Structure 1
Amino acid sequence: MNWLQLLSHKRPGETDLVKHDQTRSRFEQDFDRIIFSHPFRKLQDKTQVFPLPEDDFVHTRLTHSLEVSVVGRSLAKNAGNHLLEKYPEIKNEGYTTHDFGGIVGAACLAHDLGNPPFGHSGEDSISSFFLTNEAGLFFKDKVSESEWEDLITFEGNAQGLRILNGKGNGGLKLTFATLGAFTKYPLSSSSEKDKSRKSQNKFGYYQCNAALFSEMANEMGLISLGKNKWCRHPLAFLVEAADDICYHIIDLEDGCRLGLVPFETVKELLAEIIGDSYSEEKVQKIPSQHERLGTLRAMAIGQLIKECSEAFINHEEAMLDGSFDDDLTSLIPSAPAMKKIIDLSIEKIYRSKLVLEKEAGGYEVIDNLIESFATAVYTKNFDQPLPKHKSILRLLPEEYEVQLKFVSSVYDALQIVIDFISGLTDSHAVRLYKTIKGYRLPV
């Protein structure tokens, strides 16, 4: 792979190459398009770790995505400085560190767009509907084998790519470089996976986006690893690192603010990352625990950005030839401290009663919603709808009704239902569930 191809600012479907504009690059346009998009705005009411948080300090998907974008931009600018010196042809084509920051910043901003309500329990619930619910299993012989793989393994990354390239959402049409950096798992759900490669632990696109992804891969010269799978775009490693840094450190911070983890424990863990720059005397001078926590978090993230930037530079050539496929945060000096944070977070935060109770409720809400709408859509388009199904269909927003008029397969219809359900905010999903169940009737 080579950087000039990897930095492609073409958009899907374009044939003519538009000249790179340094004043407002197409990568900056990508960032702006995401910020103003409807799916991005809805992240303000989607669970990060703590569903329906009441504490002002606890993060939602929106605040998490903004923070990941800031960290990703810093990582990419550090990497860009090195790459511009190493490969003069990049600079000669007019690219700057801001372009690297723009690509990774935009990809980070979009990295959670495909996540459904209630976090990972929402993902599991959509998959479980088709795997275990009788109403979901009904569809198995009505789709192809590869389409069924998409349905039984809902994947937020693949859903995100579908959102970014859908006909709705204002027609985002992001550049190939941004889409490449966004795609952590460049393979389909039915591809044979090599578990030794981190980029094949999950999948990154549905069958409906197979042609698009092939176009992306060819345009950027991604190395093919077999049928429907490629090596990662190197900048995807920075997007992954930014996400890892933020959710490990900030989930710990949120856990402390909610009283799940003692402040002294958090302080010790973050001090281990901060290293020689840590000063207990200076920490004690900070007046409130909230401020002390914020200062330690900022210093720890700063150190992790430095270490991950160096790891990227050290492995950049191996990324280009496809031999490197690991997460950067596992290779840095602070990896042992990060491992301690992960283990503590699993025990004290992700398995806390607060999280598990609301995840259980999320399962019930999503399972009922997808059963109601999938059944109603199927009977309308491919069978005879009952009055109940007609009533449920009236709850669909207009844009989904329009899309359903043009579907020709059960798979396409079900993907539109999944688009709707996964695009709901936590609060909207709960309200809709109560409406359908009759718990929330107008008076």
Structure 2
Amino acid sequence: MPLAPYACDPAASRGRLHAEPESAHRTPFQRDRDRIIHSSAFRRLKHKTQVFVEHEGDYYRTRLTHSIEVAQVARTLARDLGLTEELAEAVALAHDLGHTPFGHTGEDALHACMTPYGGFDHNAQALRIVTEIETRYAEWDGLNLTWETLEGIAKHNGPLTSGPDAEAADLHYALAEYVARHDLELHTHASAEAQAAAVSDDIAYNTHDLDDGLRAGLFEIEELLDLPIVGDCFREVDRKWPALDAGRRQHEALRRVFGALVEDVLDTSRLRLGALGAADAAGVRAAGSPVVGFSDGMIADLRLVRGFLFERMYRHWKVARMRRKAAGVVAELFAIYMETPGVLPDEWRESARHAVSETGRARVVADYIAGMTDRFALQEHRELTDPMSRV
């Protein structure tokens, strides 16, 4: 399918912060995707979880499987809307790179620790990872991704400042420091491709949280039948296959939920893009609202689904108990590293010792903790706090 006029054409990319020769075999956005996949941060997503902690079961989603699911949806949306698939895929694969161990619990705990030092935000941390923390190349820090991919990572959820000359005081330090040398135009919306990646994240987690919650026994199928979209999909499956076993029934219904969300985004986005009539990607960025997303009716329905999940899954006593322990692990690790940076590994210890301020040391510690997997954080906490643990 030919690219739509409002798509980001890889041949017209704004390029990279550090100039380098183009590939004879891959477009700039394909190279971005490949660099993300081969990064250390991407591999670590395998052992970072969404809601459950990594050791609680092999069938629950991890940040890695979630990112792959998001990328698959983003490619589907991009292909149907005439967008550049590889850019949507790159943003989707990178969107969770900045997450801490233990999901949002870990992020909340690390943000609380970092509040005196500029806070912590996983989206800003993802940008920090791909522009600074990954140190694989001889000529620069980071992955040297294209402007379009960095823009998508930074603002796929919408503009971050009110105008081109607005104060950046409320920006996370990772964003503020980077845009000071490479303007990502944080006052505009991101490309349609980045918007596709963002809504793909919503599609993926809304369906797989239902799936994981059922697998974990936190609620039963019958409790979902009154939910919009979800209940209708289960009833459709029951009419067609009244004697289907529970596992197949669950899968058939949730795949229909997934499909309904995708179709709603495609129908809504086609109408918005047609009404906008953007002649190029700049027209999408200048639009006053997102052009790729759910309809208002679907947003209202999903709000009810999320409300159910919040009460029955995220606040479930089993999840709450693990959240409490996970938050304690992150907080204790932060305190130990700040008080005794000598226990950090060599490279991180030197960075902490050479920090010019307490804030600088805290940011080194936050980078180190944020990069941990669930398993490694638990192991590190045990070795540093249990007198009987062998180092």
Q: What code does the residue aligned with 1:111 have?
A: H
Is contact 1:27-1:103 (8 Å) kept? yes
Instruction: Name the counterpart of 2:177.
Output: 208
Cα distance, 1:204–1:276 mapped onto 2, change above 3 Å? farther
In 1, distance between residues paired with 2:235 and 2:28?
39
Indicate whether 1:12 and 2:16 are aligned. Answer: yes
Indicate whether 1:250 and 2:252 are aligned. Answer: no
TM-score, normalised by the number of residues in structure 2: 0.82
Q: How far did 1:124 drift?
A: 1.6
Instruction: Name the counterpart of 1:324.
Output: 289
Indicate whether 1:52 and 2:63 are aligned. Answer: no
Is contact 2:188-2:286 (8 Å) kept? no
- 1:23-54 per-residue CA deviation (whole Å, 9 max, x = no partner) reads 53222222222222111111121120122353
Instruction: Name the counterpart of 2:33.
Output: 31
- 1:411-434 per-residue CA deviation (whole Å, 9 max, x = no partner) reads 443222111011111111111111
Is contact 1:273-1:303 (8 Å) kept? no
- 1:56-95 per-residue CA deviation (whole Å, 9 max, x = no partner) reads 3211111111111111111111111xxxxxxxxxxxxxxx
Q: What code does the residue aligned with 1:284 have?
A: P
Q: How far did 1:255 drift?
A: 0.8
In 2, distance between residues paired with 1:246 and 1:436?
37
SS in 1 for 2:217: coil
Cα distance, 1:275–1:428 mapped onto 2, change above 3 Å? closer
- Among 129, 142, 149, the residue aligned to 1:178: 149
- Among 90, 108, 111, the residue aligned to 2:92: 108
- Among 303, 307, 332, the residue aligned to 1:343: 307
Is contact 1:186-1:205 (8 Å) kept? no
Cα distance, 1:416–1:11 mapped onto 2, change above 3 Å? farther
SS in 2 for 1:441: coil
In 2, distance between residues paired with 1:44 and 1:267?
33
Q: How far did 1:350 drift?
A: 0.7
Instruction: Name the counterpart of 1:383.
Output: none
Q: What code does the residue aligned with 2:146 have?
A: T
Instruction: Name the counterpart of 1:334.
Output: 298
Is contact 2:230-2:253 (8 Å) kept? no
CA root-mean-square deviation: 3.2
Instruction: Name the counterpart of 2:220.
Output: 262
Q: Gaps spanning 5+ residues in structure 2: where?
A: 137-141, 164-169, 277-282
Indicate whether 1:367 and 2:331 are aligned. Answer: yes
TM-score, normalised by the number of residues in structure 1: 0.73
- 1:244-290 per-residue CA deviation (whole Å, 9 max, x = no partner) reads 1111111011111111121133366475587699342334354x322
- 1:325-381 per-residue CA deviation (whole Å, 9 max, x = no partner) reads 48823x25533432221111011001001111111111111111111112334xxxx
Instruction: Name the counterpart of 2:101.
Output: 117
In 2, distance between residues paired with 1:364 and 1:323?
42
Q: Gaps spanning 5+ residues in structure 1: where?
A: 81-96, 132-139, 141-147, 194-200, 218-227, 378-389
Cα distance, 1:426–1:437 mapped onto 2, change above 3 Å? same
SS in 1 for 2:71: helix
In 1, distance between residues paired with 2:390 and 2:195?
50
Cα distance, 1:62–1:439 mapped onto 2, change above 3 Å? farther
Is contact 1:155-1:204 (8 Å) kept? no
